[in-house]
A and B are shown apart, each in its own frame.
Chain A
Amino acid sequence: MKDAMPQLATDEGRPVADTLAQSPLAIRGMTVSYGEEPAIFSIDLTAEPGAMTAIIGPNGAGKSTLLKAALGIVRPLSGSATVFGKPLAKQRARIAYVPQRASVDWDFPTTVMDVALMGLSRELGLLRPVRARHVAHALACLDRVGMADFADRQIGQLSGGQQQRVFLARALAQDAELYLLDEPFAGVDAATERAIIVVLKELRAEGRTVVAVHHDLSTVAQYFDNVFLINRRKIAEGSVETAFTAANLQEAYGGRLATGQIDQLVLGMV
């Protein structure tokens, strides 16, 4: 590499127009800045259809920001995102978003069922009444994450893991093609983690695309097909085998991971 033209991680070689049109989520040249400090800089990302991709990187690397910018929740300073080849605005119905659990006020006066029904809000529109089939659908989604028995519970009474499952059920209710999850495994119990990963793998089996911000390096290889390594800049993108390497981890975490740790992670994978 050193002898050739200086090369950076690019998707060179791939026909750009083609991948853009096919990809469930394609981000190009995205920079988001809070004040004069870019949280992410010039990010290109192309999600593989029907695969599970983990966005990984150290704290403050801009993982959540990347998701939020892709969804239009924060406004990028430059760059754009397309969903299935079209601008986001027309594709909202095809995306489900699971925000960080801590981003909402769990003291809000509402029930588990109500939250699950929020996933149907696009279908219900402003005034269409909630019918039995809507409730049945929401209940089925709660059942998929093992929360059907809690349907009438006030959301503030749930444990962290249960809250996360309800968030996932809401996303399931949307019946989307692209699932974007922000730290779905953060602070949840082992049983919840297993339940969530089972559901995500089911989604993949159904041909849906999953992109999740993930913080636990030890489970990356076990859970995901692809990784996207970020530390404000894109460090690497590709399959777990090719991109989740010791060199790339070292580059993303800048020596914050001990070399032994990295070896263990990468070796454990093989």
Chain B
Amino acid sequence: MIGAEFVALSLPPLLIGTFAAIACALPGNFLVLRRQALIGDAISHVVLPGIVVAFLVTGRIGTWPMMLGAAGAALIAVGLIELIRRLGRVDAGAAMGVTFTAMFAGGVLLLEQSDTSSVHLDVQHALYGNLESLIWLEAAGWESLLDPVALASLPPELTRITVTLVAVVAFIRLLWRPLKISTFDEGFARAQGVPATILGLALVVTAASAAVAAFDAVGSIIVIAMFICPPAAARLMTERLETQIWWSVAFACLSAVLGYVLAGYGPLWLGGQNSVSAAGMIATVSGMILAATALFAPHRKAS
């Protein structure tokens, strides 16, 4: 399996899945600590209407319109949630519930209304992506990794998620201190002059960007799972935020790789003939990891 076939068929989806998982897990650490874990849930539901609107406006399925549409929808959702929460004096959970279900319904309705049969755009795809189809046709083996011609035909999703991952890492690294301080003690951070509101918004935008980039390749289920499960499991492993981040990255990688392998080969080992959904399997594995840490991790209970 470690030959030309692997490089062409498995390497790109493995990398895409892993990068997507890490890009979501990183901001997820802060979302979980800030009791905003479900922002990830809300964002991933509103990506669908964003993409549909972008398609209706531009008339095609392009990378940029899609990314912009989804990011715009995420921003609108976050703004709406804040607005409903503040103006309507409604708790955050209910405000999220109102916003994302309504926007999701709008997306489904638009999708049904418009003629999208010619393009690859449907609800199933939005929910669980199609990781398995992201193959690298030109690859002839490991040496293709050094061949510019072959590299040019890498799935565009890989480039996209790589760039996003780099941006997410840069964001977290650059704003590490203010993020940490304002997550722990918002009042102190504000007194120090940290623009806590803007920082919180920037975190959500970063999470949304990760969600949007990951979404196209792997669907929204992985996105929610990766926002929450690796960071939550990591929290139970350690009492230090720095260590928690590394654990979350490790768990994200493990979920992506193990999930992909189990989805592709698991059924064969069990005597089946077809693979199962890789996205679903990755989410399932992340849940297994969380279950294991919840049962056995050293710091599973509050001290």
Contact = CB atoms under 8 A, between A and B. Distances in A.
Find out whether A and B make contact in their complex, taking CB atoms under 8 A apart as touching: yes
Interface of A: 68, 71-73, 89, 92, 95, 97, 99, 103-105, 107-111, 114-115, 118, 121-122, 124-127, 154, 156-157, 170, 180
A239 B276 CA distance: 77
Nearest to A71: B191
Interface in B229-254: 235, 238-241, 243-244
Interface in B274-303: 302-303
Contacts of A115: 184
Given A73-B190, A126-B175, 12 more contacts: A71-B191, A73-B191, A97-B188, A105-B33, A107-B302, A108-B183, A109-B33, A109-B240, A110-B239, A111-B239, A111-B240, A154-B239
A97 B180 CA distance: 17
A1 B224 CA distance: 68
Given A99-B188, A156-B303, A126 B193 contact: no
A111 B184 CA distance: 12
A95 B191 CA distance: 8
A109 B187 contact: no
A247 to B, nearest CB: 34
B175 A121 contact: no
A126 B174 contact: yes
A186 to B, nearest CB: 15
A127 B173 CA distance: 8
B187 A110 contact: no
27 contacts: A71-B190, A73-B191, A95-B191, A97-B191, A99-B188, A99-B191, A103-B187, A104-B188, A105-B184, A109-B235, A109-B238, A109-B241, A110-B184, A110-B239, A110-B241, A111-B239, A111-B240, A114-B240, A115-B184, A118-B184, A118-B185, A121-B177, A121-B192, A126-B174, A126-B176, A126-B177, A154-B239
B188 A118 contact: yes
Interface residues of B, number: 26
B261 interface: no
Nearest to A108: B184
B185 A103 contact: yes
Nearest to A122: B192
Interface in B24-60: 33
B69 to A, nearest CB: 32
Nearest to B183: A108
A161 to B, nearest CB: 17
Interface in B175-232: 175-178, 180-181, 183-185, 187-188, 190-193
Nearest to B184: A108
Interface centre among B174, B181, B191, B241 (most CB of A within 10 A): B191
Given A109-B235, A121-B177, A157 B303 contact: yes
A127 B191 CA distance: 20
B303 A109 contact: no
Nearest to A156: B303
B193 to A, nearest CB: 4
Contact of B187 (A97, A118, A122, A127): A97
A92 B188 CA distance: 11
B187 A92 contact: no
B177 A124 contact: yes
Interface in B129-157: none
Contacts of A156: 239, 302-303
A105 B175 CA distance: 21
Q: Which 8 residue pairs spanning A and B have beta carbons closest together?
A: A97-B191, A154-B239, A92-B193, A99-B187, A71-B191, A156-B303, A104-B185, A73-B190
Contact of B178 (A126, A157, A170): A126
Contacts of B175: 126
Contacts of B302: 107, 156
A73 B187 contact: yes
A180 to B, nearest CB: 8
Contact of B190 (A72, A124, A154): A72
A103 to B, nearest CB: 6
A107 B188 CA distance: 17
Contacts of A105: 33, 184
A126 B174 CA distance: 6
B239 A109 contact: yes
A16 to B, nearest CB: 26
Nearest to A118: B181
Contacts of B183: 108
A92 B174 contact: no
A164 B29 CA distance: 26
Nearest to A174: B192
A19 to B, nearest CB: 23
Contact of A110 (B178, B193, B240): B240
